[in-house]
Structure 1
Amino acid sequence: MDGEFQLWLETWISGAGDFWQAVVFFIEGLLLPFRLYQVAVALAVLLLAWGLAWLIDPRFEAWLRSKSGWKAWQLRFLILLRRRMVLAVFALLIWATVGVFASIYQFPSRRQVLVLIATIATAWLLIWFAAQLVRNPVLRRFVVWGMTIYATLHYLGLKDAAADLLEGLALTIGDFRLSALTILKAVVVTGVLILGARMLSHALGRRIRGNKDISPSVQELSIKGLQIALYGAAFFTGVKAVGFDLTGLAVLSGAIGVGLGFGLQKVVSNLVSGVIILMDKSVKPGDVISLGDTFGWINTLGARYVSVVTRDGKEYLIPNEDLITGQVVNWSHSSDLVRLDLNFGTSYGDDPHRVRAIAIDAATGAPRVLSDPAPVCHIINFGDSSVDYVLRFWIRDPSGGLTNIRGKVYLALWDAFVDNNISIPFPQREVRVLGEAGAPEGAASQDTPKPEKSA
């Protein structure tokens, strides 16, 4: 074991020495007089670019704020350009300097360093713009740094020396050898393939959602299946492309699967529940549901949860398992017709036939209340101080809210009862003071509900 470690250490030290020699050779080449002054010119151009960017930035920001009518992708590009204003100005100026040197000096060696610096600066700028396709901030930063280092080493001629150095950092177990370079290649290739799978899945997802002949549940199920297939194919293709043998992972993956089955039981349950929901079409995007105290409409169906947006703007992420095992009220499952009931009471002195007609007319005139089926009103109880009624009416847009339509119908009832001298009884309190003249001994205050007399 010590011999293997010593061999590995010697190999790595040799690779590090070769890399350092390549770096020293490159630096010695820059110290030549006709190259050293090109480096000085590049530094001067960098200072000039920094000053110009400092002057341009406030004016560019003001101009950018005035372009509110532009498309989103155009504004996003300009915002990204503003964040890298110094690098963009430097790339333009250094290429202009290369053109000037080309017109003055006939030999390419007189502008070789400037061309190299301009190429690297342009590569950095393009890498930064291309990396914006990656939405995850941490992954985007990793892509920017990784591609920047690779491009820099490539143009400086140090790529092969760096590859030998990383290849020396290896772990050998029997016939299996895993080096840092292999891991890096696997990460890069897999990342590129996953990024391509993500862009392709989004493009196909937009086409599937735009097809009106496919129901929303089938659309979501197709998109989820497509994403699983694309991401899985990208991962295994990327790992296989760099030389990993996946057949040896079969037994290990089975053991890991059993462990994950116990440890991630809830996660797996939610994933399976999400597939069941998509297949049986019990809920779909746009449905209005009630689950416990949560009332709202379904925004999206995720692999693990359902997004429900309420009328007050809150977004609840409800696990898929709760929709399968719990009692869910789907107000628009098979029909978007919803019946609402309002309870009220009137005085015994008011004609119940007249009260019912007035209540039906008031509900019919309220917005969102359907005339077919027409509202109905029934007596449900003879109370202690009032005749109790129930007013039933139908609406077809539960996503517009239930509390607001109830409030509008109640307000219409109030106005109609006031206009027709219909009284709504309420409890009245009678207080007797102890020791008051004419009051019986030991009398106490008591509450006696009395109906309000009609005007």
Structure 2
Amino acid sequence: MIPAQVGQAPLDTLQSTALEALAQAESFFTTFVRPWNFYQIGIALTLFLIAHLIAQVVSPRMREWMRSREGWPTWRLRMLLVLQRRLRMIFFVILIWHVIGIMQQVTWPSRSYLLIVIAKLASAWLGIALGTRLIRNPALRSLLRYGAWIWVTIWILGLSEETVAVLDNVAIELGESRLSVWLILQGLLVLAVLVALARFVSGTSAASIRRNGNLSPSMQVLAVKFLQVSLYGAAFFVALKLVGVDFTGLAFLSGAIGVGLGFGLQKVVSNLVSGIIILLDKSVKPGDVISLNDTFGWINALGARYVSITTRDGKEYLIPNEDLITGQVVNWSHSNEFVRLDIFFGTSYGDDPHLVRRIAVEAALSVTRVLSDRPPVCHIVGFGDSSVDYILRFWISDPTGGLTNIRGNVYLALWDAFKANGISIPFPQREVRVVNETLPPMADRPSPPGDGT
């Protein structure tokens, strides 16, 4: 690193460092412009073209070979697919290092200097491209890949000290702390690596937790969330510690966060706490069928802030956790899957109620989803204006299959059974009778009371 002059202003130091870096870059390009270097560039381009042609021939055959590998683990096929997509660069790296080895045996080392630089760059880029494929997050993978490519290129070209000096001189003073661009980049790099590692560990551990049959679905979700929060929190604080951030200054920040929570984040914190309570008391879990106000559906996932519910018409509702804690929730499958449904109907007074009850029970049993081990029952609930009113109760064990459709099927079975047995379903009728069919003429009618005429 180039030391800054004592007493020189930061701007002047930055300017002198940048000028020094430019001078070295100019010296590098002046040395570069030599005839033999152009020959080396031509050799590198020729090798790249040969690698491209070889990859065009090998890539389809390798893909067909991978398709024939039945029974192989998914991770192994995924690794082969990554290699298949990088065949051109793999062949280029292999060819250029072999050519360099031959040239160092038959000519002077200076005649292969530029090829060595190109080979180092290609090898580093290939290694970074293959290594970053382990990161699942596309944005994080791209950030690490391009950042590593830039830094490796600067390091191979011998400009790392000058670059560090320039980035370190661009800084701001915050009290006794000095925050430079170089320090920020270090922190971001460490944070990205630790977050990627935490994501990989949490994903692997989450898969193991979900395969554990001894844990209920709610406890599985809680364990996964706790593991993710712990790993990501540890990655954040470790990254800050590695770049030299003083944690004593976080006391003021924690106080500001507390004030913010008190004023603007009450609902957010309430939903987070409610989500933890839901996971602990196991009141709802993924797969349960619930009703909340006018929303009926089954739970897809339990989030930190909301619960995802999918209805029968395909709509997905994100219900805040607080509503599940404070509202009245009907869990159709909380302790068991059995659900009793009631439907009401009426028949005319001329039909035998004993026959009606028997036919109604048989009609309900003819529907597929109605349970026979919990047989339906039918009772008279009243004598209406135009019909004898009944209630038919039956049980199902699959509320996830829908409630409206099973009610409709039972009503349709009742209709067919009543029609086959001559039982009528009356509808309200009204009779209007005129008591005085003939009225006296208008002149002969008595005057209403209080009329002075």
Residue by residue over 1:189-230, the C-alpha shift from the partner in whole angstroms, topping out at 9 and shown as x without a partner, is: 111112111211122222222211122222222222222221
Are 1:285 and 2:286 an aligned pair?
A: yes
The counterpart of 2:18, out of the listed 16, 19, 23, is: 16
Residue by residue over 1:117-160, the C-alpha shift from the partner in whole angstroms, topping out at 9 and shown as x without a partner, is: 23323432443344344444443332222121112112222222
The equivalent of 2:372 in structure 1 is 371
When residues 242 and 51 of structure 1 are mapped into structure 2, their CA distance, relative to the original with a 3 A threshold, is same
C-alpha contact 2:47 2:95 (8 A) present in aligned 1: no
The equivalent of 1:383 in structure 2 is 384
> How does 1:302-313 map onto structure 2 within 5 Å?
302-313=303-314
Tell me, in whole angstroms, the C-alpha distance in 2 between the residues paired with 1:406 and 1:80: 53
The equivalent of 1:448 in structure 2 is none
> How does 1:395-434 map onto structure 2 within 5 Å?
395-426=396-427
Residue by residue over 1:161-180, the C-alpha shift from the partner in whole angstroms, topping out at 9 and shown as x without a partner, is: 21111111111344321111
The equivalent of 1:103 in structure 2 is 102
> How does 1:123-134 map onto structure 2 within 5 Å?
123-134=124-135
Tell me, in whole angstroms, the C-alpha distance in 1 between the residues paired with 2:65 and 2:423: 63
Residue by residue over 1:274-298, the C-alpha shift from the partner in whole angstroms, topping out at 9 and shown as x without a partner, is: 1111122211112110112221111
Question: What is the Cα deviation at residue 259 of structure 1?
Answer: 1.9
Residue by residue over 1:61-107, the C-alpha shift from the partner in whole angstroms, topping out at 9 and shown as x without a partner, is: 9969977978665676677667xx5x641441353143145335515
Letter aligned with residue 37 of structure 1:
Y
Tell me, in whole angstroms, the C-alpha distance in 2 between the residues paired with 1:358 and 1:129: 71
Mark the structure with the bigger radius of gyration.
2
Question: What is the Cα deviation at residue 186 of structure 1?
Answer: 0.7
The equivalent of 1:233 in structure 2 is 234
Q: Please identify, of 217-226 and 323-332, the stretch whose mean Cα deviation from structure 2 is larger.
A: 217-226
Unaligned runs of 5+ residues in structure 1 are 431-438, 442-455
Letter aligned with residue 172 of structure 1:
E
> How does 1:66-215 map onto structure 2 within 5 Å?
73=75, 88-103=87-102, 105-106=104-105, 107=107, 108-215=109-216
- Over the residues paired in the alignment, what is the CA RMSD in angstroms? 3.3
Question: What is the Cα deviation at residue 41 of structure 1?
Answer: 2.2
Tell me, in whole angstroms, the C-alpha distance in 1 between the residues paired with 2:321 and 2:220: 17
**Which SS does the other structure have where 1:366 is aligned?**
coil
The equivalent of 2:442 in structure 1 is none
Tell me, in whole angstroms, the C-alpha distance in 2 between the residues paired with 1:142 and 1:341: 59
Q: TM-score, normalised by structure 2?
A: 0.83
When residues 80 and 365 of structure 1 are mapped into structure 2, their CA distance, relative to the original with a 3 A threshold, is same
The counterpart of 1:33, out of the listed 20, 32, 35, is: 35
Unaligned runs of 5+ residues in structure 2 are 1-5, 432-436, 440-453
What is the number of equivalent residue pairs in this alignment? Answer: 427
C-alpha contact 1:169 1:180 (8 A) present in aligned 2: yes
C-alpha contact 1:289 1:298 (8 A) present in aligned 2: yes
Letter aligned with residue 366 of structure 2:
G
The equivalent of 1:242 in structure 2 is 243
Letter aligned with residue 41 of structure 2:
V
When residues 338 and 64 of structure 1 are mapped into structure 2, their CA distance, relative to the original with a 3 A threshold, is farther
When residues 8 and 394 of structure 1 are mapped into structure 2, their CA distance, relative to the original with a 3 A threshold, is same
When residues 125 and 410 of structure 1 are mapped into structure 2, their CA distance, relative to the original with a 3 A threshold, is farther
Are 1:273 and 2:280 an aligned pair?
A: no
C-alpha contact 1:64 1:78 (8 A) present in aligned 2: no
When residues 265 and 174 of structure 1 are mapped into structure 2, their CA distance, relative to the original with a 3 A threshold, is closer
**Which SS does the other structure have where 1:317 is aligned?**
strand
Tell me, in whole angstroms, the C-alpha distance in 2 between the residues paired with 1:315 and 1:410: 29
Tell me, in whole angstroms, the C-alpha distance in 2 between the residues paired with 1:61 and 1:409: 58
Tell me, in whole angstroms, the C-alpha distance in 2 between the residues paired with 1:313 and 1:61: 42
**Which SS does the other structure have where 1:369 is aligned?**
coil
When residues 262 and 174 of structure 1 are mapped into structure 2, their CA distance, relative to the original with a 3 A threshold, is closer
When residues 91 and 31 of structure 1 are mapped into structure 2, their CA distance, relative to the original with a 3 A threshold, is farther
Letter aligned with residue 245 of structure 2:
F
Tell me, in whole angstroms, the C-alpha distance in 2 between the residues paired with 1:236 and 1:91: 38
When residues 370 and 79 of structure 1 are mapped into structure 2, their CA distance, relative to the original with a 3 A threshold, is same
Tell me, in whole angstroms, the C-alpha distance in 2 between the residues paired with 1:31 and 1:109: 13
Tell me, in whole angstroms, the C-alpha distance in 2 between the residues paired with 1:309 and 1:81: 40
**Which SS does the other structure have where 1:332 is aligned?**
coil
**Which SS does the other structure have where 1:111 is aligned?**
helix
Tell me, in whole angstroms, the C-alpha distance in 1 between the residues paired with 2:132 and 2:377: 63
The equivalent of 1:449 in structure 2 is none
**Which SS does the other structure have where 1:285 is aligned?**
coil
**Which SS does the other structure have where 1:157 is aligned?**
coil
Tell me, in whole angstroms, the C-alpha distance in 2 between the residues paired with 1:298 and 1:23: 61
Letter aligned with residue 346 of structure 1:
T
C-alpha contact 1:45 1:94 (8 A) present in aligned 2: no
**Which SS does the other structure have where 1:393 is aligned?**
strand
Question: What is the Cα deviation at residue 330 of structure 1?
Answer: 0.7
Percent identity between the two aligned chains: 55
Letter aligned with residue 314 of structure 2:
G
Letter aligned with residue 425 of structure 2:
I
Letter aligned with residue 352 of structure 2:
D
C-alpha contact 1:377 1:392 (8 A) present in aligned 2: yes
When residues 360 and 391 of structure 1 are mapped into structure 2, their CA distance, relative to the original with a 3 A threshold, is same
Residue by residue over 1:393-452, the C-alpha shift from the partner in whole angstroms, topping out at 9 and shown as x without a partner, is: 01122112212222222232233223323233346899xxxxxxxx999xxxxxxxxxxx
C-alpha contact 1:134 1:195 (8 A) present in aligned 2: yes
Question: What is the Cα deviation at residue 240 of structure 1?
Answer: 0.3
The counterpart of 2:44, out of the listed 39, 42, 48, is: 42
Letter aligned with residue 301 of structure 1:
L
Tell me, in whole angstroms, the C-alpha distance in 1 between the residues paired with 2:101 and 2:300: 60
C-alpha contact 1:307 1:317 (8 A) present in aligned 2: yes
Tell me, in whole angstroms, the C-alpha distance in 1 between the residues paired with 2:379 and 2:286: 36
Letter aligned with residue 18 of structure 2:
A
Q: TM-score, normalised by structure 1?
A: 0.83
The equivalent of 2:448 in structure 1 is none
Q: Please identify, of 356-365 and 102-111, the stretch whose mean Cα deviation from structure 2 is larger.
A: 102-111
